[in-house]
Structure 1
């Protein structure tokens, strides 16, 4: 299989990498490659998130460098799991509980990665939902409606403290940009739910050494989030009142960059 060019988030080092550096290989599975936000594709947003996050992990004083390759899974392009340390499934306008052929293939692939490789799975929004589906969770349209803009999440003991998100607030709160109507209504067996919100009971899933997912969008900055809200107001998906409420919260400081750091810690094996 011909591999796409790898993209390093730091300047290319020589072929002989200093032993103080650890290179991690991350595959981004693009589940909506034709969607271009005001700041680029979903893959572009994740590359910026990881570049702007402090990508240092406490592993024998090693500094982490991420090499990223992208794959258009809608068109059937997939990485060999053993070629990567981590595989991230992006957000999408698609519905995770639909039975489109490419979604069914993605569900199959997720199960294969989990059962047959050491690659760690990361899912964001649609990625969170489709990973939950793959392992027996229930994904459906949320009867409570859309959840958009900066939203407070409540973390349990495993989610806060030194385990996953030490950067969370003193009361175990994590704030993230949200943009979804569907949600995970019932978590899959064997997955730990570490975060909830008022509208969504399953905001984050964790399985040690295997899976880390979040319903929110750590990769969204204010510009992307604002544009997404405005598009949904224009389309009628959000009422004027809902849209105004979302726009009032879109600039609230959130933990997106901290989640970027947490993903790196997870890929390295620190958590």
Structure 2
């Protein structure tokens, strides 16, 4: 792998104002996660947390510029309030770009929430609205045997913020886990991609802000918002999940 590790974060949304000011976009949110995860990895000879990553952010909603694949080692697709199943120009472009990444064998792919769904869609799986409704705040993700092997634990706790899902696993994709509200919580293909439906990058503060904003605007019902807020600051495995992503990107 190239040194430094060149990660292009495709920003599929803009955070709420306070979060945006604090982090400067979702690129900044992921920069914080991956830096913390590199420290947890504690392998400075392989990945120095300060100098070992070159993280660039690409606002693909408002600008149609994408990284050249020869200039990066990994592409990360962020979450989004937008619908992964919509037939609109910027989402169609993103699906096409994702298919280009999947068609080659050097640049690796990470998909988060909306990004997980886009990878599913790019591989021909159905994506859309779940009849189970919203999955919000810290929830358990039950792991498959491969998920246990990859994440090094029996289950993971991860922040959630979605009501859209990938309905089935695409062909030749290894399932990583499920939850009562979502059967396809993670997808894996060796040396190609890892995706999760949850948000390892979200902190309790970020999730609290999103829940409060969506409750105020009526997207979440009052009881739903209260329940989610009660779990927003629960302990979760986001940094450990980020460390698994980095190990995956560093693998020969």
Fold conserved between structures, TM > 0.5: yes
Question: How much has 1:143 moved relative to structure 2?
Answer: 0.7
Give 2:221's aligned residue: 239
Distance 2:182 2:134 in 1: 10
**In the superposition, relative to structure 1, how do residues 81 and 185 fare at CA in structure 2: closer, same or farther (>3 Å)?**
same
Q: What do the CA deviations read for 1:204-253 (whole angstroms, capped 9, x no partner)?
A: 00000001001111111110011111111111111111111111111110
Aligned-partner SS, 1:53: helix
Q: What do the CA deviations read for 1:84-143 (whole angstroms, capped 9, x no partner)?
A: 110000111110000111111111111111113510010101100011100011111011
Give 2:113's aligned residue: 125
2:9 equivalent among 28, 31, 35? 28
Question: How much has 1:55 moved relative to structure 2?
Answer: 4.6
2:83 equivalent among 92, 95, 98? 95
Distance 1:59 1:93 in 2: 35
Q: Structure 1: any 5+ residue segments left out of the alignment? A: 1-20
1:85 and 2:76 are equivalent in the alignment = no
1:225 and 2:225 are equivalent in the alignment = no
Q: Structure 2: any 5+ residue segments left out of the alignment? A: none
Question: Does structure 2 retain, via aligned residues, the 8 Å contact 1:22–1:62?
Answer: no
Distance 1:243 1:67 in 2: 37
Give 1:5's aligned residue: none
**In the superposition, relative to structure 1, how do residues 184 and 268 fare at CA in structure 2: closer, same or farther (>3 Å)?**
same
The structure with the larger Rg is 1
Distance 2:238 2:15 in 1: 23
Distance 1:231 1:176 in 2: 20
Distance 1:146 1:244 in 2: 13
1:208 and 2:190 are equivalent in the alignment = yes
2:27 equivalent among 35, 39, 43? 43
1:66-77 matches, cutoff 5 A: 66-74=53-61, 75-77=63-65
1:139-158 matches, cutoff 5 A: 139-158=127-146
**In the superposition, relative to structure 1, how do residues 83 and 238 fare at CA in structure 2: closer, same or farther (>3 Å)?**
same
Q: TM-score, normalised by structure 1?
A: 0.85
Give 1:199's aligned residue: 181
Distance 2:14 2:248 in 1: 25
The structure with more helix, counted as a fraction of residues: 2
1:177 and 2:159 are equivalent in the alignment = yes
**In the superposition, relative to structure 1, how do residues 231 and 59 fare at CA in structure 2: closer, same or farther (>3 Å)?**
closer
Aligned-partner SS, 2:161: strand
Q: TM-score, normalised by structure 2?
A: 0.91
**In the superposition, relative to structure 1, how do residues 51 and 265 fare at CA in structure 2: closer, same or farther (>3 Å)?**
same
Query: Once superposed, what is the RMSD of the aligned Cα atoms?
Result: 2.0
Distance 1:72 1:145 in 2: 28
